[in-house]
Amino acid sequence: MFTDEPTQHETPLSTADPAGLPEQQFNPPPQPTSAPQAVRRSAWLQLLSAILTWFGSVLLLVFVPAIVVVPYLIYLWRTSGLPNAEALANNKTVLFLSILGIVPTHLLTLLLVWLVVTEGRKRPFWKTVGFEWPESVGPVIGTAVCLLVSLALLLVGFLVTWLWGGNKTQLDLLVESSIPARLATAFVAVFTAPLVEELIYRGVLYSAVERALGRAVAIGAVGLLFAGVHVYQYSNNLSVITVITVLSFTLTLMRAYSGKLLPSFVVHLIFNGVQSIIIALSPFFGWGNS
């Protein structure tokens, strides 16, 4: 007869171990976990990947516009001989093509960022990079706040440049070289620069620095780096450098405390958009000196 009770020859598993097997196989002692080390290692690897991505974007910005200009240089060389460096620096077509070359530069940069963020299509791009509004802020309120921040930044920029003045910058000379150059600059400043720059600096780079070194370091590093790469364009005008630095830290702080990338992108887009309208319409309305 079969019953649920153990016989006198049976021993419950809860009170004895099978012969020949050590006790620790059934009750293994807790092992020290390596999770913190793995997290730190992953954070530093992501930081390295982010730095390489940023460096790649800089290389693209240096070489792609130059490559775009090459066919025209070949044309000049075959028709009238290659001009000297000073002549090239004042050649309106060269200047226009160098601006136009930023468009493929930004497209290639966007592809690079997409590959890094998605890890080769393994992760969703926009969600991973945080290109959305914070959960506590809806699109209407978020856009309104971004508009106010943008207008405040534009007012600060106007006051600083009005009070301090300064010489024409490299960008001013580039923009004023021709109407096509002016329009191309306005196009890039609105349609490609805000998205690509935000993805690089406050998307990929900020997230990696914050994870590896903390929020404060990330705000300082990304804020200074973004401002620093623009110094060449504005090197002879301290007031414009100041405005760009204020813009950079404002965008980075928004990214840090909202936890999302979309607010800083919207502010960047509005800030550039207003200035692009001024750049494009200046010759027709007599704004500024051109």
The tokens for 149 are 């921040």
Amino acid 23: pLDDT: 43
Residues in Cβ contact with 85 at an 8 Å cutoff, skipping those fewer than 6 apart: none
Residue 125 contacts residue 66 (beta carbons within 8 Å): no
Residue 60 contacts residue 112 (beta carbons within 8 Å): yes
Distance CA 111, CA 50 (A): 14
Could you report the per-residue pLDDT of 196-221, keeping only the tens digit for each? 999 999 999 999 999 999 999 999 99
Selected residue with higher pLDDT from 13 and 187: 187
Distance CA 241, CA 174 (A): 17
The percentage of residues in the chain with a pLDDT greater than 70, rounded to a whole number, is 87
pLDDT-based confidence at residue 122 (cuts at 50, 70, 90): very high
- Amino acid in the structure at residue 191: F
Whether residue 2 lies inside any domain: the answer is no
State the residue range of the domain holding 68. 41-282
Whether residue 119 lies inside any domain: the answer is yes
Average pLDDT over residues 143-155: 97
Distance CA 154, CA 136 (A): 27
Average pLDDT over residues 125-144: 94
Residues in Cβ contact with 165 at an 8 Å cutoff, skipping those fewer than 6 apart: 239
pLDDT-based confidence at residue 168 (cuts at 50, 70, 90): confident
pLDDT-based confidence at residue 120 (cuts at 50, 70, 90): confident
pLDDT-based confidence at residue 187 (cuts at 50, 70, 90): very high
**Residue 80 DSSP symbol:** T
The tokens for 173 are 């000379």
Distance CA 40, CA 71 (A): 48
Kindly list the distances between the CA atom of residue 171 and the CA atoms of 69, 84, 236, in Å, as whole numbers in the listed order. Answer: 18, 21, 11
Residue 130 contacts residue 117 (beta carbons within 8 Å): no
Ramachandran class of 163: left when φ > 0, alpha when ψ lies in -120 to 50, beta otherwise:
alpha
Whether residue 19 lies inside any domain: the answer is no
The percentage of residues in the chain with a pLDDT greater than 90, rounded to a whole number, is 68
Residue 9: pLDDT above 70?
Answer: no
Amino acid 54: pLDDT: 97
pLDDT-based confidence at residue 26 (cuts at 50, 70, 90): very low
Chain mean pLDDT for the chain = 87
Distance CA 230, CA 232 (A): 6
Residue 166: Cβ within 10 Å count: 16
Whether residue 36 lies inside any domain: the answer is no
Could you report the per-residue pLDDT of 226-277, keeping only the tens digit for each? 999 998 888 889 999 999 999 999 999 999 999 999 999 999 999 999 999 9
Total count of domains within the chain:
1
Whether residue 14 lies inside any domain: the answer is no
Whether residue 17 lies inside any domain: the answer is no
Kindly list the distances between the CA atom of residue 188 and the CA atoms of 69, 97, 161, 220, in Å, as whole numbers in the listed order. Answer: 17, 13, 23, 27
Whether residue 92 lies inside any domain: the answer is yes
Could you report the per-residue pLDDT of 54-101, keeping only the tens digit for each? 999 999 999 999 999 999 999 999 998 878 888 888 899 999 999 999
Whether residue 150 lies inside any domain: the answer is yes
Question: 283: exposed, middle or buried (C-beta count within 10 Å: 0-12, 13-18, 19+)?
Answer: middle
